[in-house]
Amino acid sequence: MTSEGSSTPAPAPRRPTGGVTSRSRPTQLFLLDGFRLLTGGKPTSVPRGLQRAIALIGLRPDATRTHLAGLLWPDASEDRALSCLRTALWRLRRHAYCPMLVTGDTVRLDPNVEVDVDDLVRTAAWVRDGGDPRRAGAVLSAGRHDLLPGWYDDWVLLERERLRQLRLHTLEEVARAYLRAGQHGEALQAAIEAMRTEPLRETPHRLIVEVHLAEGNAYEALHAFYVYRDLILRDLQLEPSTAMCALLDHILAPLGRRPPRPR
């Protein structure tokens, strides 16, 4: 990506499949929708204990040995946890499951290892900085899968929620970008995808209402509003926010009606 203020277009984020044109295919690490490691395009079988080490090092680049050991073996003493980490790193280097760089007290994956989570993070930054939202579609679609489903380590739960929120905010930014460009169909699809991810979150519902209003579809806007209102009344005993209600004032005011206001 270009530096801030540069007029040169940034390169498109890499596709989550990690497609390459060089003769030697890189190592690819997939953490969304489950752990998968591909070497030369072929799956590599990795013992579960080493999967945890690889995944954490991929998610926490340049973490210190002490930090990694504490997260991987939280119930062990510091000395015991560091000993376990040394053994894991020795096994990783010995079998070359995934190339790593150890510099002083820090451990990280080799830069040639492609990680699908990195694609999602880069795409979020790209969209946030005003990049073309059309380049985000494939990565955001892949990102609908949870990080390492079935893993319940504390560090996995934290990273899973961080990435879920990152994807939600990025989908909403994509919807806004399309809405500003007058591409209402694309804006609606991005907002609906965000709504599917978190049905009780107001922002995507508000965006859906805004898209329908921009298209001049008052009925669709009212329908979307009341669908969301019924949902949060039933599940949370709440009303839509003042900001969302205000979107419909100009429609209902001539009829002598107002959207319900939060109590």
Task: Report the domain count for the chain.
Answer: 2
- The CA distance from 216 to 244, in Å, is 17
Q: What does the pLDDT look like over 66-81, one tens digit per residue?
A: 999 999 999 999 999 9
Q: Return the CATH number at 91.
A: 1.10.10.10
Alpha-carbon distance of 227 to 209, in angstroms, equals 11
Per-residue pLDDT, 254: 63
Is the alpha carbon torsion for 108, 54, 140, 16 positive or negative?
positive
Strand partners, 114: 28
Does the pTM surpass 0.85? The reply is: no
Write down which residue in 71, 97, 112 finishes a domain.
112
Helices and strands of the chain, counted as H and E runs: 11, 7
pLDDT value of residue 56: 97
Same domain? 201 vs 233: yes
Which residue, among 7, 13, 246, 217, has the nearest Cα to 116 in the 3D structure?
Answer: 13
CB-CB contact of 235 with 226 (8 Å): no
d(CA 141, CA 259): 34
Whether 184 and 89 share a structural domain:
no
* CATH classification of the domain holding 206: 1.25.40.10
Residues 122 and 47 in one domain: no
- What are the E-state strand segments in 116-163? none
Residues 200 and 125 occupy one common structural domain: yes
Q: Are 124 and 1 in contact (CB under 8 A)?
A: no
* Residue 147 and residue 234 share a domain: yes
DSSP 147: B
142 and 214 housed in the same domain: yes
Give CA–CA dist 153/53, Å, rounded: 12
Low-confidence ranges of the chain (pLDDT < 70): 1-24, 254-263
Q: Are residues 132 and 239 in the same domain?
A: yes
pLDDT at 251: 82
Q: Are residues 129 and 250 in the same domain?
A: yes
Please check whether residues 100 and 146 belong to one and the same domain: no
Q: Mark whether 128 and 235 lie in a shared domain.
A: yes
Both 32 and 144 in a single domain? Answer: no
Alpha carbon distance 179, 159 (integer Å): 30
Q: What is the mean pLDDT of the chain?
A: 87
How far does the chain reach from its first CA to its final CA, in angstroms? 46
Residue 21 lies in a domain: no
Domain span at residue 143 reads 117-255
> What does the pLDDT read at residue 258?
60
Per-residue HEC secondary structure of 106-126 comes to: EEEECCCCEEHHHHHHHHHHH
At residue 138, the pLDDT reads 82
Q: What is the pLDDT of residue 3?
A: 36
185-210 confidence digits (pLDDT tens): 999 999 999 999 999 999 999 999 99
CA 196 to chain centroid, in Å, comes to 14
